[in-house]
Amino acid sequence: MSNRTGCLITFEGPEGSGKSTLIKSIASVLLDIGAEIIEVREPGGTPVGEKIRDVLLDKELPELCAKTELLLMVASRAQLVQETLQPALAGGKIILCDRYAESSEAYQGGGRELGTAKVREMNSYAIGDVIPDVTFLCMVPPEIGRQRTSSRELDRMELESIAFHDRVYKAYCDMADSGEKRFVVIDASKTPEEMMSSAFEHLKKMEHQLLKLL
């Protein structure tokens, strides 16, 4: 995108990684300094995407096959990119996105064993050059994540086997070890305050004018 003046920040991690709390805290500080922000989630984030999300997370639909699941995740993403992310980036906004392309790599590529190469190809088709400026990988071992989510009602993905969630975690570990510059690993076994302060260290160094004020 040649007219990109905004900034795309994505948050990734296995179940129970504390992403949502981290996003809320960052959003609140950014609003305090007068930033124009947009918060979105995946799957979902648009009217079409939210309908797709309902199908994807419906635990009454255990028969949804892995390829269909991947295609629906990517379809929701394509809609989000065109309807929301591209205009927001052109308008100088800071976007906080709860899950994005790397979730498909971890869950469908790793968890469902569809493979990284195929998922990357599909992601690339959906997002084009709308690549995040920074991707926070909130890393927490599956057993701790499970304890954190045990008290709530679980959706179709959360109800998957321990082996599935172990593969998801392994895929995120591979990303964390990949050396990709935009990946920033956050130790999600720490407290929310500690997670927030490590995220801020990185945000302050970013190009966007407002983030320098943090």
- With CB under 6 A as the contact rule, the residue among 46, 86, 97, 107 that binds ligand TYD is 107
Q: How many CB atoms lie within 10 A of CB 172?
A: 25
Q: Name beta bridge partners: 39.
A: 96
Q: Is 23 in the site for ligand TYD (CB under 6 A)?
A: no
Calpha distance 34→210 (Å, rounded): 8
- Closer of 158 and 166 to ligand TYD (Cβ): 158
Which residue's beta carbon is nearest to the bound ligand TYD? Answer: 107
Q: How many CB atoms lie within 10 A of CB 95?
A: 24
Cis-peptide, bond into residue 62, ω within 30° of zero? no
C-alpha distance from residue 137 to each of 11, 122, 206 (Å): 6, 21, 17
Q: Is 123 in the site for ligand TYD (CB under 6 A)?
A: no
Q: Is 133 in the site for ligand TYD (CB under 6 A)?
A: no
Contact yes or no for 80/132 (Cβ under 8 A): no
Q: Is 169 in the site for ligand TYD (CB under 6 A)?
A: no
Query: Closest by alpha carbon to 116, among 84, 70, 69, 82?
Result: 70
Q: Is 42 in the site for ligand TYD (CB under 6 A)?
A: yes
Q: Is 103 in the site for ligand TYD (CB under 6 A)?
A: yes
Smallest separation, CB 68 to ligand TYD (Å): 12
Calpha distance 9→150 (Å, rounded): 28
**Residues in binding contact with ligand TYD, number by CB under 6 A:** 16
- With CB under 6 A as the contact rule, the residue among 104, 133, 175, 203 that binds ligand TYD is 104
Smallest separation, CB 28 to ligand TYD (Å): 18
Q: What are the residues binding ligand TYD (CB under 6 A)?
A: 15, 20, 41-43, 57, 73, 98-99, 103-104, 107-108, 155, 157-158
